[in-house]
Amino acid sequence: MKRLLITLLAILALNVGAQDLAHYKKIVKELSSARYQGRGYAFDGANKAGRYLEKEFRKAGADEVVCQPFKLNINTFPGKMKMAVDGQKFIPGKDFTLREFTPGIKGEFRLYYIDTTNYNPQKIFADLARPEYKDAFVVCDFMFTYRHSADFRRMQSREGCANAGLIYTWEAPLKFYKAYGEKVGEKPIIWCAPDFPTDAESVELDIENKFLQDKECFNVIAKVEGERHDSCYIFTAHYDHLGNLGKKTYYAGAHDNASGTATIVTLAAHYAKHRPKYDIYFIAFSGEDAYLRGSEWFANNPTVELSRVRYLINLDMIADNNPVQYCEASDEGMRGFTLFEKINSEKHYFQSLHRAPLGGNSDHYPFAQRGVPCIFLMNEGGEAQKYYHTIYDTWQNSIFVTYEPIFRLVTEFVERY
């Protein structure tokens, strides 16, 4: 009878794990679907995703779910997105993408190639001042511009140079960003794949941007009550992503960060069934890809006193297959990091935990700046890394092997900390 009971418990444990994984996959698939258009701002995809998550936290059994509103400014590209070089059409997201602060532009423009072998800035600026190159697009390898940043900043300025814009060739697959999209620049900056023609004569563009002033967004905050209310844990993940590049191209963001968001929903479901010792909050932030606007807003306007936080765990991009787990811990969170290492050495969830210096790269950072004990977990460097911030970060390319190790690592930490 005792042996039978042990066997039944083992089967039950396996079924619970499988149920969590199925729930996790369902949420990742939903959030990365076309319905949310990359969870950006142009077609209200982020807010649609937030309303979906509000319902999911309630279904998971959270005792309380509230939305915390805030506003941000963001440049978007909801309209025309056309580019052709010497008549050859380019595909958005695949052949070209934009710097996030790019203004709209329409017309046909001559191309001016930078001679990187015999680089002569005086000659370049003299050439660009000539009538035949007025309103030309400057073409150059992106990495080369780093070594001559002052010259290329001048080319980005209307006052500094008469060119119409810049085309930078960069490694494929092309990446898109939003962090500095809270302004509109003076000139378009277009990133193109490395196979961009080396001897083309002209580029034809029809690009529309729309700057959203005071765009209303919100954080979704769920709470599962524990036995004690004097302090709490917080799990965080951001649910927004990059949105659109024109009407037909969107960035699904399955790894970044439907993966982390889905995990905190399944964690809420777990703790609703297995009541924790302390209260636990689950915060899905918007505005992370817009320079951490949502988490910064919460940190300045907390709905729970930050001094009550025993530990904050931020999950961002956890769906990869690197056996080494990337981490960042705040100074106040180092005691917790030591426990994470101890648990991992006992259970072998990962080969090791690689702790990197604290950086302002995700939603843990505003809390670390305010003295909250916290850790950032991100699985990077595996097969999913090449899809980061590209149109290929999709459900079809998702990797699920790190979900359960992460889930078990953080739940055991909360039990033992």
pLDDT tens string for the chain (417 positions)?
Answer: 434 433 333 343 444 444 589 999 999 999 999 999 999 999 999 999 999 999 999 999 999 999 999 999 999 999 999 999 999 999 999 999 999 999 999 999 999 999 999 999 999 999 999 999 989 999 999 999 999 999 999 999 999 999 999 999 999 999 999 999 999 999 999 999 999 999 999 999 999 999 999 999 999 999 999 999 999 999 999 999 999 999 999 999 999 999 999 999 999 999 999 999 999 999 999 999 999 999 999 999 999 999 999 999 999 999 999 999 999 999 999 999 999 999 999 999 999 999 999 999 999 999 999 999 999 999 989 999 999 999 999 999 999 999 999 999 999 999 999
Where in the chain are the domains? 23-73+213-416, 81-207
- Tell which residue, 106, 115, 108, 96, has the closest CA to residue 168: 96
Please tell me the distance from the alpha carbon of residue 287 to that of residue 294, in angstroms, as a whole number: 5
Q: Rounded to two decimals, what is the model's pTM?
A: 0.94
Please tell me the distance from the alpha carbon of residue 400 to that of residue 397, in angstroms, as a whole number: 10
Burial label for 416, CB within 10 Å (0-12, 13-18, 19+), is: exposed
Q: How far is CA 273 from the centre of its chain?
A: 30
Taking the CA of residue 269 as centre, how many other CA atoms within 13 Å lie in the half-sphere pointing to its CB?
A: 22
Q: What pLDDT was estimated at residue 7?
A: 38
Beta-bridged to residue 169, according to DSSP, are 141, 192
Intra-chain end-to-end CA distance of the chain, in Å: 35
What letter represents residue 344's amino acid? N
Cα 370-312-286 angle, rounded to 5 deg: 85
Say if CB 389 and CB 251 are below 8 A apart. yes
Q: What pLDDT was estimated at residue 25?
A: 98
Please tell me the distance from the alpha carbon of residue 403 to that of residue 260, in angstroms, as a whole number: 9
Say if CB 346 and CB 269 are below 8 A apart. no
Please tell me the distance from the alpha carbon of residue 233 to that of residue 282, in angstroms, as a whole number: 9
Please tell me the distance from the alpha carbon of residue 299 to that of residue 306, in angstroms, as a whole number: 8
Task: Please list, in sequence order, all residues whose beta carbon lies within 8 angstroms of the beta carbon of residue 365, skipping any fewer than 6 positions away.
Answer: 292, 295, 358, 359
Q: Tell whether domain 81-207 is in CATH 3.30.43.
A: no
Quick one: three-class SS letters along the chain? CHHHHHHHHHHHHHHHHHHHHHHHHHHHHHHCCHHHHHHCCCCCHHHHHHHHHHHHHHHHCCCEEEEEEEEEEEEECCCCEEEEECCEECCECCCEEECCCCCCEEEEEEEEECCCCCCCHHHHHHHHCCHHHCCCEEEEEHHHHHHCHHHHHHHCCCCCCCCCEEEEECCCCCCCCCCCCCCCCCCCEEEECCCCCCCCCEEEEEECCEEEEEEEEEEEEEEECCCEEEEEEEEEEECCCCEECCCCCEECCHHHHHHHHHHHHHHHHHHHHCCCCEEEEEEEECCHHHCCHHHHHHHHCCCCCHHHEEEEEEECCCCCCCCEEEEEECHHHHHHHHHHHHHHHHHCCCCEEEECCCCCCCCCHHHHCCCCCEEEEECCCCHHHHHCCCCCCCHHHCCCCCHHHHHHHHHHHHHHC
- Tell which residue, 185, 150, 149, has the closest CA to residue 164: 185
Give domain 23-73+213-416's CATH architecture: 3-Layer(aba) Sandwich (3.40)
